[in-house]
Chain A
C-alpha cells in the first residue's frame, strides 16, 4: 500500500499581510500542524495556487500558530499571490528541506551574510538568537539590498539592533544624502572583527553571484572554509526528490539541502 499522498496541499488562511517594498510582501499564514510537522528556519513550503502552479518559498518567521512567507513578486504565480489579502486562503504543502539547526551556532561567533530575500531563510535564526543572545558569543548580520526602497524587515531590524545584534544593513545604490551603509555586502566582510576566527561560523544566503563573492571574500580574510554554510535555491516542482529540477551532481537541493556546508558542494557544477 502506498503511504500518504504528499502532493495534496492543505488550505491555510492569510492572517496578515506586511508590505516591505513595492515588490516584496510577507504573508503571515495560519499553521496549526506544528506539533506533527514542526518547522525549522531555512525550511521551505511549496506555496500552491491552483491554476498558477507551485513555488518553493522559504519560511521567514515561525510562531506556534503561524508561518511567515516573504515573497518577491517576480513571476506569474507570485503575481497571483499578491492579489490575495487577509482572510483569503492559499494552498500549501511542506515543510521541506533540512533547514538550520540553531544548536550548530551555540557558543560561537556567528556571521550571517544575506542578500535581499535571502534574509528570509535566516530570519528565524536571527529571531531565535535575538531572544537567546547568551547562547552564542556574538552575532553579526550583514544584509544587502538593491536600494533603500528594497530594504526588507525594517521593523524587525530595529528590534534586532535593540536586542544587541551587530547588524549592518547596506544598499548597492542610494540616492544622494542617504545616511545608511552603501556598497555590496562583500565590502563589509574585511571589516569584521573576531575573538577567534578559526572557530567562528558563517552562513551566506542570497543570489548565486552574491554567494560566490561573499565566500571568496571570507576566504580572503582567512575564514575557515569548513565553517561556512549556505542555503541554495533552485527550481523545484516537488520538494520530495522526485521531479529532478534541483539536482546538482549527486545532490538534490530539496532533499539534502537547501542548507549545505560549503565544502560539501564547492566542487559541484550546475
Chain B
C-alpha cells in the first residue's frame, strides 16, 4: 500500500524518522562546485523534502554514507588501540535505482570478497533505502543497458510530483510515520526509465588479451589521472590506510581509511618506489576492464551500473560509454587479427 503526502506532511514524517535515523539525500551545496561560483549536488543530511534535488542526478553518489571519504578505524596510544565510535543514529538514504543496484556491488566487496568488513557491516546494518523514482533519464545515463533501471528491494520508494510525494513503503518502521501524516492512501509504483538516450553494449567476446591492444594508448594523452571518475562512481570501493598523530612525539593518533583511486600515482607504489601501472592508459584499462569484465568474473554480475557520473565529471571529456561501445570492439578486433 502507498501514501500521498504534502511537503509539510513528509517533513513531519522526516522528523519522526530522524529520532533514530539521519536522512541523507542529494542536495545543492552552493558555491562549492568544481568551477568558480558553481554549485555541486552531492549527498548531505536533510530535514525537509524541499532540500532534496529531485530533477537532477547528483554529481557524487550516496556511497560516502556507507564508505566515508575518510573513516577513523581506531585511535592508538603507545600501548593500546581503541576502536572508533560509530554514528549514534542509523541512516536513511534517498537514492535512484542505479545506485540501489550499486549497493549490491558494495555488499559484494565488503561482505563477500574475503571476510566481512566490520565497519561496513556495522553501518550497513542500520541503513534503510528510499528509492527515488526516475521519470526520465539524465544525460549520460545507461541504466537500461546495464539492467539497473528497475529496483524492487527498497525499504520505501518515492515519486515526487509538483510538491506532492507518493510513497510505497514495504518497511514497517518507516511506514508508521507515513501513515500518521499521509493525506490519503493510494497505490504507488515507483517511476522508472524504460529507455535511455545512451545505450551501451559490452562485447561478449572480451578477454584479458584486450589489455595489450593499442586502444588504451589514446588515454595516455587525454587522461590526467585525477581520479574523479572513480570517486564519483557509486561502485568504486578502493581505499588506503592513513595514520595521523596528535602529539609531537607521534605516540598517539588515529588510523583512518580514506577513499583512493586506481588512477592515482601511489595506488600500486610499493616501498622502494616500484609501481605497476605508470601510464594513464594502463590505469584506464585497469578500471574499465574491472567495470565490464573482471568484477563479473569474480562476482557473477557486472560492476558498472550505468549511472553515467564518470562521463559527466571527467574534466577531459573521457567517456566510459564511448570506450565500451567503440574502443572495446576495436580492441577485440585487434586481438583476433593478431591471433592472440
Contacts and interface: CB of A to CB of B under 8 A. Distances in A.
Interface of A: 1-9, 11, 50-55, 72, 74-75, 77-78, 89, 91, 208, 233-235, 237-238, 240-245, 247, 249-250, 252, 254-255, 267-270
Interface of B is mostly: mixed
A29 to B, nearest CB: 16
A234 B251 CA distance: 28
Contacts of B242: 53
B262 A2 contact: no
Given A5-B83, A91-B81, A237-B257, A245 B114 contact: no
B253 A8 contact: no
B241 A255 contact: no
Contacts of A3: 115-116, 118, 121
Nearest to A269: B211
A235 B241 contact: no
Contacts of A2: 116, 118-119, 121-122, 125
Contact of A51 (B118, B122, B212, B243): B243
The 8 closest A-B pairs by CB, nearest first: A241-B114, A75-B271, A244-B238, A2-B121, A250-B297, A50-B76, A74-B272, A5-B118
Contacts of A252: 113-114
B208 A268 contact: yes
Nearest to A242: B117
B301 interface: no
9 contacts: A3-B116, A5-B83, A7-B118, A51-B251, A237-B240, A241-B115, A242-B113, A250-B294, A252-B114
Given A234-B268, A247-B290, A250-B295, A242 B110 contact: yes
A242 B118 contact: no
A269 B272 contact: no
Given A2-B116, A3-B116, A51-B245, A243 B240 contact: yes
Q: What secondary structure prevails in chain A residues at the interface with B? A: loop
Contacts of B73: 7
B282 to A, nearest CB: 8
Contacts of B269: 235
A180 B316 CA distance: 57
A54 B115 contact: no
Residue among B118, B121, B237 facing the most chain A CB atoms (10 A cut-off): B118
Contact of A7 (B119, B253, B268, B276): B119
Contacts of B290: 247
Contacts of A244: 237-239, 260, 262
Contact of A50 (B117, B253, B272): B253
B118 to A, nearest CB: 4
Given A6-B115, A8-B81, A237-B240, A75 B257 contact: no
Interface in B277-298: 277, 286, 289-290, 293-295, 297-298
A53 B271 CA distance: 12
Contacts of B298: 250
Contacts of B274: 208
B268 A235 contact: yes
Contacts of A250: 293-295, 297-298
A269 B212 contact: yes
A73 to B, nearest CB: 9
B270 interface: yes
Contacts of A8: 74, 81, 83
